[in-house]
């Protein structure tokens, strides 16, 4: 897989780490807030419930920030600062008369491990750069669909049903472990085969995937389901990276001929909207009346797909 696609996958894995740290913060914060004395006893530190509760509020705030804010870097830095404070307090606890050094040593080791993970995640979030690379094309499309995110996620996650609205996909065979085999229409009447695997899956929110080596298609992508403003349904956003077979020149030729993945995904999103909102997809085949073309090339491409 090309460097740019590896970076795209790394981005999805980074989101998984950030989400895990966010839930860890909330869980630890709730424990510190609700059971300060029990937690102090477990780690072997002197009982200071007010201080432990204050630390719990800080952890919960950091966790909520990581899970809800689009830019995690400030919240990861806050976690690193909090980890440093925790290590300092544990170090000071060693000198207290009622401390338990053995338990404090175990707790300090655990906090040091979490601190290392927080530092790496913070550095990664701060230094992340947009994917790039020769012959790699990045694009994204979005559409608002008048259906709840749960329904749209469920429809998309059922991979074997995707050919119903993805006109270029012939069939998908799902297997265990989040893997699937895809067969799609290629240029000039060819057929493309590849295997893919899910790399990130948040129920009702996100599905991210990447192609596996030795396939006809080298790509990675994600689809997100977010509530649209004003209660208008769900914003569906597809982001993809792919390596054109003939590099950047091949990608330009594909766009010119109307066979680029960017155009296919745009059409597929509109077909998906028609399918889930009306139960059918508009077609012009077999109609005896009507103009052969409209004044909109995009519309013609959509209804004739």
Question: Residues 5-61: pLDDT tens digits?
Answer: 455 545 555 667 777 888 888 888 888 888 888 877 777 767 777 888 888 888 888
Q: What is the pLDDT of residues 156-170, one digit of tens each?
A: 999 999 999 988 899
Q: Which range among 22-36, 72-86, 241-255 has the greatest average pLDDT?
A: 22-36
43 with 164, same domain?
no
**Given this model, what pLDDT does residue 134 score?**
52
Mean pLDDT in the chain?
A: 76
The Cα 81–Cα 85 span in angstroms is 6
Number of domains in the chain: 2
148 with 223, same domain?
yes
**Given this model, what pLDDT does residue 126 score?**
56
**Given this model, what pLDDT does residue 10 score?**
54
227 with 151, same domain?
yes
183 with 232, same domain?
yes
Percentage, residues of the chain above pLDDT 70: 73
pLDDT > 60? residue 301: no
155 with 115, same domain?
no
pLDDT > 80? residue 269: yes
89 with 119, same domain?
yes
Q: Which residues pair with 211 in a beta bridge?
A: 196
Q: Which of 141-155, 174-188, 195-209, 232-246 has the lowest mean pLDDT?
A: 232-246
Which of 100, 127, 154 terminates a domain? The answer is 127
**Given this model, what pLDDT does residue 13 score?**
59
182 with 288, same domain?
yes
| CA distances from residue 141 to 81, 177, 223, 300 in whole angstroms, order as listed | 38, 28, 10, 19
SS3 category, 220: strand
DSSP letters for 255-294 = HHHT--HHHHHHHHHHHHHHHHHHSS----TT-SSS-SS-
* CATH at residue 270: 3.30.530.20
pLDDT > 50? residue 68: yes
**Given this model, what pLDDT does residue 7 score?**
53
122 with 158, same domain?
no
What's the mean pLDDT in 62-66? 83
Confidence band (pLDDT; 50, 70, 90) for 246? very low
The Cα 220–Cα 169 span in angstroms is 16
39 with 71, same domain?
yes
Domain range holding 43? Answer: 3-127
152 with 201, same domain?
yes
**Given this model, what pLDDT does residue 123 score?**
65
**Given this model, what pLDDT does residue 294 score?**
43
104 with 152, same domain?
no
**Given this model, what pLDDT does residue 182 score?**
93
The Cα 21–Cα 122 span in angstroms is 11
173 with 278, same domain?
yes
Give the list of residues 6+ apart from residue 255 with CB closer than 8 angstroms, or none. Answer: 262, 263
**Given this model, what pLDDT does residue 15 score?**
66
**Given this model, what pLDDT does residue 303 score?**
45
Confidence band (pLDDT; 50, 70, 90) for 227? very high
pLDDT > 80? residue 249: no
Which of 109, 127, 145 terminates a domain? The answer is 127
**Given this model, what pLDDT does residue 146 score?**
94
pLDDT > 50? residue 267: yes
Confidence band (pLDDT; 50, 70, 90) for 259? low
What's the mean pLDDT in 123-144? 65
Q: Which helix (H) or strand (E) holds 191?
A: strand 191-202
Confidence band (pLDDT; 50, 70, 90) for 217? confident
């Amino acid at each position: 897989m090309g460097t740019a696609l590896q970076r795209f996958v790394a981005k999805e894995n980074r989101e998984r780490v950030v989400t895990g740290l966010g839930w860890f913060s909330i869980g630890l914060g709730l424990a510190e807030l609700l059971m300060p004395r029990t937690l102090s006893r477990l780690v072997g530190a002197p009982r200071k419930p007010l201080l432990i509760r204050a630390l719990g509020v800080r952890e919960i705030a950091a966790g909520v920030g990581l899970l809800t804010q689009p830019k995690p870097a400030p919240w990861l830095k806050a976690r690193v600062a909090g980890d440093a404070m925790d290590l300092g307090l544990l170090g000071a606890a060693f000198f207290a008369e009622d401390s338990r050094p053995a338990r404090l040593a175990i707790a300090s080791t655990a906090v040091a491990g979490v601190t290392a993970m927080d530092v790496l995640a913070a550095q990664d979030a701060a230094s992340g750069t947009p994917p790039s690379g020769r012959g790699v094309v990045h694009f994204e499309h979005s559409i608002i669909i008048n259906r709840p995110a749960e329904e749209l996620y469920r429809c998309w996650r059922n991979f074997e049903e995707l050919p119903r609205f993805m006109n270029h996909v012939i069939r998908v065979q799902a297997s265990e472990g989040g893997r699937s085999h895809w067969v799609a229409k290629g240029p000039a009447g060819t057929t493309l085969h590849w295997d893919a695997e899910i790399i990130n899956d948040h129920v009702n929110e996100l599905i991210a995937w990447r192609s596996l080596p030795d396939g006809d298609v080298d790509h990675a992508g994600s689809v997100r389901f977010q509530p649209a403003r004003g209660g208008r349904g769900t914003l569906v956003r597809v982001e993809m990276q792919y390596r054109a077979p003939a590099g950047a020149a091949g990608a330009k030729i594909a766009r010119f001929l109307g066979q680029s993945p960017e155009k296919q995904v745009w059409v597929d999103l509109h077909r998906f909207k028609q399918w889930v909102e009306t139960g059918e997809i508009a077609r012009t085949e077999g109609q005896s009346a009507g103009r052969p073309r409209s004044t909109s090339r995009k519309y013609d491409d959509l209804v004739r797909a």
